[in-house]
């Protein structure tokens, strides 16, 4: 079986799990991890199903999941990075802004592929099913997506729901959008014409990996607030440690303006 066929099988599995998670959402019960973040049984079920699917289709690949520990082979050609429900807090409250997120890193740990399934958060449609197979084109709901027109100003940005007190907005005169999903936050500057940038709190590799691939595909930047490049280091990826500081997702030409208008106080 060709490798692209395996990607398509995996994508179909994620679509099915998206439908399952959507049906289960109405009656889901939330619990909390030791760090205070929300967890549901659906997170655990989706995580297990995706891990087993990846193992069967890509037996030599790594998979990093928010909810399960797995072995890591430094010589593997591919590493899948899974967030079974990104935006679990929103999901557990019955809201629509959540997604199943699976990023794909190559051997050099560059984010080169993505599957993002948002069953209730489509763009002019009920759902969004995004597919970016490594080396292939980007599709949403089966239609190819092309690079949007360049943003000329920061009229609208996506913004983190955490640590807002750590920012100075006194120089910013635009609109801020917050929906509770890091993956969707970082995706939107690349695909929504009015969203110029995204600022995301320091988080984990699974909170950015898939949207990072889409940003890379269109030539956008994902950097830390000091403009250093986001890299999937041993500590960040294998050690599952939180990033050192917040992220900015935007076109390269907009980064300085984001930093100037929205000052990070640390």
Count CB neighbours of 171 within 10 A.
Answer: 10
Residue 125 has pLDDT above 60, yes or no: yes
- pLDDT surpassing 70 at residue 80: yes
CATH classification at residue 164: 3.40.190.80
In this predicted structure, the answer to whether residue 183 has a pLDDT above a threshold of 80 is yes
- The residue written with tokens 């655990």 in the block is 44
Binding-site residue set: 66, 83, 85-86, 207
The CATH number linked to 69 is 3.30.540.10
Residues, the chain, total?
A: 266
pLDDT at 33 over 70: yes
**Does any domain span residue 67?**
yes
Is residue 211 within 8 Å of 186, Cβ to Cβ? yes
Last residue of a domain, one of 113, 144, 175: 144
Same domain, residue pair 165 and 237: yes
Same domain, 104 and 11: yes
Are 170 and 254 in a shared domain?
yes
Structural domain contains residue 151: no
Q: What is the pLDDT of residue 51?
A: 98
Q: Are residues 129 and 169 in the same domain?
A: no
Q: Which domain holds residue 45?
A: 3-144
Predicted confidence band of residue 123 (pLDDT cuts 50, 70, 90): very high
Final residue before a domain boundary, out of 144, 165, 194 = 144
On whether residue 95 sits in a domain, the answer given is yes
Q: pLDDT band at 181, cuts 50/70/90? A: very high
Binding residues for Mg(2+), as ranges, are 66, 83, 85-86, 207
Q: Is 49 exposed, middle or buried (0-12, 13-18, 19+ CB in 10 A)?
A: middle
Same domain for 134 and 7, yes or no, is yes
User: What is the three-state SS of 225-260?
Assistant: CCCCECCCCHHHHHCCCCCCCCEEEECHHHHHHHHH
* Whether 160 and 139 share a structural domain: no
* Per-residue pLDDT tens over the stretch 218-234: 999 999 999 999 999 99
Domain-ending residue, one of 88, 118, 144: 144
Residue 7, pLDDT > 60, answer yes
Q: Which pLDDT score is estimated for 39?
A: 83
> Closest Cα partner for 182 from 259, 64, 257, 101?
101
Q: Domain for residue 150, yes or no?
A: no
pLDDT in tens, 21-32: 999 999 998 888
Secondary structure class of 165 (helix, strand, coil): helix
The verdict on residue 99 lying in a domain is yes
One domain for residues 162 and 138: no
Residues forming beta bridges with residue 197, ordered by sequence position: 157, 250
Query: Do 175 and 106 have their domain in common?
Result: no
Average of per-residue pLDDT across 246-253: 97
One domain, residues 49 and 87: yes
pLDDT at 67 (0 to 100): 84
Predicted confidence (pLDDT) at residue 111 exceeds the cutoff of 70: yes
Q: Given a cut of 90, is residue 1 above it in pLDDT?
A: no
Whether residue 91 has pLDDT greater than 90: yes
How many domains does the chain contain in total? 2
127, 141 contact by CB (below 8 A):
yes
Residue 248 maps to a domain: yes
115, 246: one domain: no
pLDDT at 34 over 80: no
Please tell me whether residues 49 and 117 are part of one structural domain: yes
**How confident is the model at residue 2, as a pLDDT?**
62
Residues 209 and 258 in one domain: yes
pLDDT in tens, 135-147: 999 999 999 999 9
Chain mean pLDDT for the chain = 95
């Amino acid at each position: 079986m060709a490798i692209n066929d395996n990607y398509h099988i995996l994508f179909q599995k994620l679509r099915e799990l998206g439908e399952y998670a959507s049906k289960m959402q109405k009656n889901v019960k939330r619990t909390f991890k030791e760090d205070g973040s929300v967890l549901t049984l659906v997170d655990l079920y989706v995580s297990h199903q995706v891990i087993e699917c990846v193992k069967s289709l890509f037996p030599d690949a790594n998979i990093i999941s928010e909810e399960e520990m797995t072995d890591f082979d430094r010589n593997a050609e591919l590493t899948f990075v899974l967030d079974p429900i990104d935006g679990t807090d929103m999901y557990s409250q019955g809201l629509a802004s959540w997604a199943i997120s699976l990023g794909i890193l190559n051997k050099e740990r560059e984010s080169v592929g993505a599957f993002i399934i948002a069953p209730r958060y489509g763009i002019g449609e009920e759902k969004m099913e995004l597919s970016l197979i490594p080396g292939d084109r980007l599709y949403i709901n089966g239609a190819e997506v092309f690079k949007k027109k360049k943003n000329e100003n920061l009229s609208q940005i996506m913004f983190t729901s955490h640590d807002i007190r750590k920012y100075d907005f006194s120089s910013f005169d635009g609109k801020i959008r917050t929906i509770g999903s890091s993956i969707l936050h970082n995706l939107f500057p690349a695909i929504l014409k009015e969203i110029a940038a995204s600022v995301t709190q320091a988080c984990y590799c699974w909170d950015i990996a898939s949207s990072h691939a889409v940003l890379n595909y269109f030539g956008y930047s994902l950097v830390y607030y000091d403009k250093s490049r986001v890299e999937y280091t041993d500590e960040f990826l294998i050690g599952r440690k939180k990033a050192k500081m917040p992220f900015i997702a935007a076109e390269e030409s907009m980064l300085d303006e984001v930093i100037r208008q929205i000052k990070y106080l640390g």
